[in-house]
Chain A
């Protein structure tokens, strides 16, 4: 650890960094998503054509990445709430980080088939 830095590394700092990065990512997606949904006010065709983009295999993989960011931000957010409001939260923040990662891996595995099977079929046929 270089002298004169507040950054302590390990689970505490890296979860905080990841929380910021995923938060910014989700924020920019929300902007795009509200605008694309607003096309229902233009015409059914305009909306349907734009939503076709989401059904593209590459975009489906990006969507899976977005879900990864949202799930991490949600689970780590609950951990932050526990650290701030639960009297033993600060003491168990490290353990809670690994619980967050465990649940995240399970949820990501469960979301893989429903989100990616359409893209997979389109690329490899069947």
Chain B
């Protein structure tokens, strides 16, 4: 803050420049988190286009689409490490991409600090549930659970 207050007043041909209305928050300039989040949205987005559209073609379009989905179908696909990896990467990228998107939306529209705080607590809790449950299910899937 001292930096801004002690800055020399610029006096040129026109009137002197006023000090900025809001003081620069030191917190927002400490790290490049927002830059990395911005970059992550673009990179994960490109990967998700391939992963999610591939997922939709397999689940909804190819021979019979949704009508053939059931436990046996899942067991058949998760017998292959390739599809386990596909689903795991898709789960993590989609959830992190979605969490960051909703974080941005909360920051834009929730104006009271309390509201922002609780909406984010809810958001991060839901993300932990989804990532934990999803990862656990992919890694511990048992095709013989019914027997």
Residue ranges of A at the interface with B (Cβ–Cβ < 8 Å): 20, 23-24, 26-27, 30-31, 34-35, 37-38, 40-41, 43-45, 47-48, 51, 54-55, 60, 63, 67, 70-71, 74, 77-78, 80-81, 84-85, 111, 114-115, 118
Asked if B42 and A81 make an inter-chain contact with CB atoms under 8 angstroms apart, the answer reads: yes
Q: In the complex, which residues of chain A have a beta carbon less than 8 angstroms from the beta carbon of B101?
A: 20, 23-24, 27
Number of interface residues of B (CB under 8 A): 38
> Nearest chain A CB to B35's CB is how many angstroms away?
12
**CA distance in complex: A31, B129 (Å):** 9
Residue ranges of B at the interface with A (Cβ–Cβ < 8 Å): 42, 45-46, 48-49, 52-53, 56, 60-61, 64-67, 69-72, 74, 91, 94-95, 98-99, 101-102, 105, 126, 130, 133-134, 136-137, 140-142, 145-146
Residue of A nearest to B127 (CB): A31
Asked if B67 and A24 make an inter-chain contact with CB atoms under 8 angstroms apart, the answer reads: no
Residue of B nearest to A116 (CB): B65
